[in-house]
């Protein structure tokens, strides 16, 4: 067997794209990606992760596997959510650098060469920061602005504002990320926790090329709560603080009433203030119990130790650019993995 000269090997790229019902935009996404990646001259692979699509997206990609090179299709057993789908994609990516991209072309693939240059200049993580957000409502922009700032004040690992999942990670960073075992995966927080030498590149976020957003405000609120409760216990401290203040005010109020009764005699007035206090305290108590529940629930989910996602099958193109022609394929194991294989 011929020996490989490691210096002669070109660094390879994996582009990971999680998708849910993106049939409309996938052909466009693939065409634009190809144009950029072919121009780079590096071996690459595109890992599509089907997060339980029901609109024929996965079947469309599966049909391309026999003709299109360098594709890998990881199908999850159902919809596990974008965070889990990205984790699955990253775990199945084999390149020296992994780039995360949305299928809807909101993250322009044309920026990949800049990201690769920054990586080759020594950055382990190349983080893309949105300078502007086209096609997003005023309310979404305002809530995103407020959320990132709040999260950053709360959590210890600095989560750069206005950066999303669009990023490049070196193999070293990917290895570190995959070591984090939590089930409740708030990816933006996990990236920040991993840290490593990071370059930030500003870009203008495009509008969706086709199809509709998969997030409604309820889902975004859930993600925001996930982010805060996964990376900070400050709300628990707030609850303690709020309780202390309420107890103090209640005590002062009670002392005032005793003094007043001693001086002027008792009467039965005060029903409205009593009601106000009871409802206010009831509200505060329910809120803090709910908050506590968030953390207890998180512990419960982690304790069950269920896998983050379940893979239905993994298929690759016959011709894989990452496939090293000089050695026997190190990636055979990834071809047609057994059905219902448990991952991680
Ligand atoms: N997505 C996914 N699983 C989900 C929801 C979304 O894989 O449960 C994918 C979606 O197909 C897209 C990316 O995540 O490629 C971003 O979703 P979307 O564009 O709907 O979110 P937005 O950009 O509006 O925040
Ligand atoms: Mg989008």
Close Cβ partners of 321 (under 8 Å, ≥ 6 residues apart)? 12, 43, 44, 45, 69, 70
pLDDT band at 328 (very low <50, low <70, confident <90, very high): very low
Relative to the alpha carbon of 20, which ligand is closest? Answer: 1
| φ and ψ of 253, to 5 deg | -60, -45
At 31-56, the pLDDT tens digits run 999 999 988 888 999 999 999 999 99
Q: What letter does residue 331 receive in the DSSP assignment?
A: T
Residues 260/266/267/272 CA torsion (nearest 10 deg): 40
> Is the pLDDT assigned to residue 17 strictly greater than 80?
yes
Residue whose Cα lies nearest atom 11 of ligand 1: it is: 19
Report the distance separating Cα 203 and Cα 129, nearest Å. 6
Residue 104 Cβ < 6 Å to ligand 1: yes
- Cα–Cα distances (Å) from 92 to 7, 47, 174, 251, 328, in that order, read 25, 8, 11, 59, 19
Residue 22 Cβ < 6 Å to ligand 1: yes
Contact by Cβ (8 Å): 79, 52: yes
Per the confidence metrics, is the pTM higher than 0.85?
Answer: no
Centroid of ligand 1 to alpha carbon of 325 (angstroms): 35
At 136-170, the pLDDT tens digits run 778 777 888 888 788 777 777 677 778 888 999 99
Report the distance separating Cα 311 and Cα 77, nearest Å. 5
Average pLDDT rounded to a whole number, residues 244-252: 82
Contact by Cβ (8 Å): 125, 167: yes
pLDDT of the residue at 332: 32
Pick the closest to residue 155 from 121, 119, 190 (CA basis): 190
| More confident call, 8 vs 308 | 308
Report the distance separating Cα 115 and Cα 111, nearest Å. 6
Residue 143 Cβ < 6 Å to ligand 1: no
Report the distance separating Cα 28 and Cα 42, nearest Å. 21
DSSP H/E element including 47: strand 44-50
pLDDT of the residue at 72: 93
Report the distance separating Cα 83 and Cα 80, nearest Å. 8
At 55-106, the pLDDT tens digits run 999 999 988 888 888 899 999 999 998 999 999 999 999 999 999 999 988 8
């Amino acid at each position: 067997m011929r020996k490989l000269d490691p210096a002669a090997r070109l660094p390879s790229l994996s582009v990971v794209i999680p998708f849910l019902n993106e049939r409309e935009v996938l052909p466009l996404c693939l065409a634009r990606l190809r144009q950029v990646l072919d121009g780079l001259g590096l071996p690459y692979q595109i890992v599509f992760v089907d997060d339980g699509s029901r609109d024929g997206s996965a079947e469309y990609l599966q049909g391309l596997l026999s003709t299109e090179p360098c594709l890998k299709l990881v199908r999850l057993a159902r919809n596990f959510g974008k965070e889990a789908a990205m984790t699955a994609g990253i775990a199945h990516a084999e390149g020296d650098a992994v780039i995360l991209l949305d299928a809807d072309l909101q993250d322009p693939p044309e920026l990949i060469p800049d990201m690769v240059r920054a990586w080759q200049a020594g950055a382990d993580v190349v983080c893309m920061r949105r300078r502007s957000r086209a096609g997003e409502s005023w309310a979404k922009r305002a809530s995103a602005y407020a959320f990132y700032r709040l999260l950053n004040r709360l959590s210890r690992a600095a989560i750069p504002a206005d950066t999303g999942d669009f990023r490049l990670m070196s193999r070293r960073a990917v290895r570190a990320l995959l070591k984090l075992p939590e089930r409740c995966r708030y990816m933006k927080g996990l990236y920040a926790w991993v840290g490593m030498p990071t370059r930030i590149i500003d870009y203008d976020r495009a509008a969706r090329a086709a199809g509709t957003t998969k997030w409604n405000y309820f889902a975004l609120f859930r993600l925001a709560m996930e982010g805060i409760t996964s990376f900070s216990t400050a709300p628990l401290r707030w609850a303690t603080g709020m309780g202390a203040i309420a107890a103090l005010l209640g005590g002062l109020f009670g002392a005032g009433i005793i003094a007043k009764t001693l001086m002027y005699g008792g009467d039965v007035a005060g029903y409205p203030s009593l009601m106000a206090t009871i409802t206010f305290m009831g509200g505060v108590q329910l809120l803090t119990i709910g908050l506590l529940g968030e953390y207890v629930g998180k512990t419960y989910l982690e304790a069950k130790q269920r896998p983050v996602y379940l893979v239905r099958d993994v298929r690759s193109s016959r011709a894989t650019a990452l496939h090293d022609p000089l050695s026997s394929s190190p990636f055979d194991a990834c071809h047609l993995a057994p059905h219902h294989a448990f991952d991680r």
